[in-house]
Amino acid sequence: MSHPYDSLPPDAFWRTAVADRSAFDIKGLWRPKWAIGRKEPIVTTGSCFAQHFGRALAARGYAWLDAQPGPRGLDDSQRRDFHYGTFSFRTGNIYTPRMLRQWLDWAFADRMPDEVWEKAGRFFDPFRPGIEPGGFVTLEELCASQTETLAAIRAAIAQASVFVFTLGLTESWQGPEGVEYAICPGTVAGRFDPAQHRFLNHGYAGLMADMEGALSTLFRHNPGVRVLLTVSPVPLTATASGAHVLVATSQSKALLRAVAGALADDPRIDYFPSYEIITAPPFRGMFFAPNQRSIAEAGVAFVMEQFFSVLGRAPAAPRAPAPEPKPAEPPAAEPDSATDLRCEEEILNAFAQPR
């Protein structure tokens, strides 16, 4: 008697899809729900790994949307160090679903919390403390910069055909009003106060609620936008959970992966498996740098190869008419292999206890 597994294709079986193949010959990991055309404006944001998508899209002539390009006349290193062109807007890394939700809420309310961190006479934005090296010279500059970024988020969402978000972390630090910081107070700037600051490791329900809240805002302001979720394969730099950092990483990534998978049941939402491409057993950790955390250039290239090899092939799903696309920027140069990613959490390394 026949059973459901009789008629499954080879890629449904581990032996034929994985075990009998070279790691580099494993294909079909992603079947996009919809095609993405080169003229469709694409917004990218999220944790560290999301930076690769923006660069790769621009380098391949896709209409990656840079809604906050910064002042004219800056060179590449100035733009990079001041976080222009890293994501579609100058938020710095958005690590958690809560942070995404916060940024979208703030953008459409055109208001941010008043909290500011100070250090050595300079001012730091608690929600993106790394974007201005050394901090803002004046409080007025900081506020003006926030206003500019909120406007850029609104403009980007209004124009986007595709919104790419890379989920990165579940662990976070919150202030007294429940607002979530980009990084623990006292690390980059600010002062840690155990009576005011609370560690929160989001669970599945909380992560899902925040993603649903963020997506609800997104779809409300752009009903036609499609969402592509990814999970960063980059392990935690440090954990405050009390668990071993490797175990804490596994829990975080599992939760984020589960949330992304569940959300991708929605036809407007797709999931691209960059997490699996880097971390799955057949790849034997070969894409990690010697610290077993950073992703080597070859790993990034392999992920992007998988992404772009099928990106334009899927039939376009029916969707609301896209807004008039913004004229594409000239394709950016291929990323420099020496280019380091800008992760605020890297700063945590400076606080690691010597073993």
Regarding 121 and contact with other proteins (CB under 8 A), the answer is no
Question: Taking the chain, what is the end-to-end CA distance rounded to the nearest angstrom?
Answer: 61
CB of 84 to other proteins, least distance (A): 9
Q: Which is nearer to other proteins, 76 or 266 (CB)?
A: 76
Please state the closest distance from residue 141 (CB atom) to other proteins, in A. Answer: 5
Distances (CA, A) of 297 to 50, 286, 327: 14, 11, 30
Least distance (Å) from other proteins to the CB of residue 131? Answer: 10
Give the CA distances from residue 260 to residues 10, 167, 257, 335, in Å, rounded to whole numbers and listed in that order: 25, 8, 5, 27
Contact present, 32 and 313 (Cβ < 8 Å): yes
Site for other proteins in 222-261 (CB under 8 A): none
Helix axes 139-159, 204-221, angle to 10 degrees: 70
Q: By CB under 8 A, name the one of 32, 46, 135, 235 that touches other proteins.
A: 135
Min CB(130)–other proteins separation in Å: 12
How far is Cα 22 from Cα 74, in angstroms, rounded to an integer?
44
Residue 78 within binding range of other proteins, rule CB under 8 A: yes
Position 134 contacts other proteins (CB under 8 A): yes
What is the distance between the alpha carbons of residues 103 and 81, in angstroms, rounded to a whole number?
Answer: 21
Q: Is 105 in the site for other proteins (CB under 8 A)?
A: no
- The reply to whether 34 sits near other proteins by the rule CB under 8 A is no
Q: Answer yes or no whether residue 66 interacts with other proteins by CB under 8 A.
A: no
* Of positions 4, 73, 242, 321, contacts other proteins by CB under 8 A: 73
Which of 30, 49, 136, 271 is the binder for other proteins (CB under 8 A)? 136
| Angle separating helix axes 204-221 and 245-263, nearest 10 degrees | 40
H/E segment holding residue 180: none
CA distance 171 to 173: 7
Using CA atoms, how far apart are residues 342 and 127, in angstroms rounded to an integer?
Answer: 15
For residues 78 and 309, which CB has a smaller minimum distance to other proteins in the complex?
Answer: 78
Interface with other proteins by CB under 8 A: which range of 64-72, 163-171, 198-206, 287-295? 64-72
327 binds other proteins (CB under 8 A): no
Q: How far is the CB of 323 from other proteins (least distance, A)?
A: 22
Tell me: does residue 70 bind other proteins (CB under 8 A): yes
> Is 321 one of the binding residues for other proteins (CB under 8 A)?
no
Q: Lay out the site mask for other proteins across 145-184 (x = CB under 8 A, - = otherwise).
A: x--x------------------------------------
Q: Which stretch binds other proteins (CB under 8 A): 51-59, 72-80, 172-180, 299-307?
A: 72-80
> In whole angstroms, what is the distance from residue 350 CA to residue 330 CA?
38
| In the complex, least distance from residue 75 CB atom to other proteins, rounded to whole angstroms | 7
Please, which residue, 138 or 337, has the CB nearer to other proteins?
Answer: 138
Tell me the H-state helices in the chain.
14, 50-59, 76-81, 97-109, 139-159, 204-221, 245-263, 274-279, 297-311
Give yes or no for residue 75 binding other proteins (CB under 8 A).
Answer: yes
Angle value at C-alpha 34, between 33 and 40, nearest 5 degrees: 145
CA-CA distance, 135 to 190, in Å (whole number)?
11
Give the whole-angstrom CA distance, residue 262 versus residue 198: 28
138 touching other proteins, by CB under 8 A: yes
Q: Are 85 and 79 in contact (CB under 8 A)?
A: yes
Q: Is 284 in the site for other proteins (CB under 8 A)?
A: no
Per CB under 8 A, does 139 bind other proteins? no
The only residue of 4, 121, 133, 330 in contact with other proteins, by rule CB under 8 A: 133
Q: Tell me which residues touch other proteins (CB under 8 A).
A: 70-75, 77-78, 81-82, 122, 132-138, 141, 144-145, 148
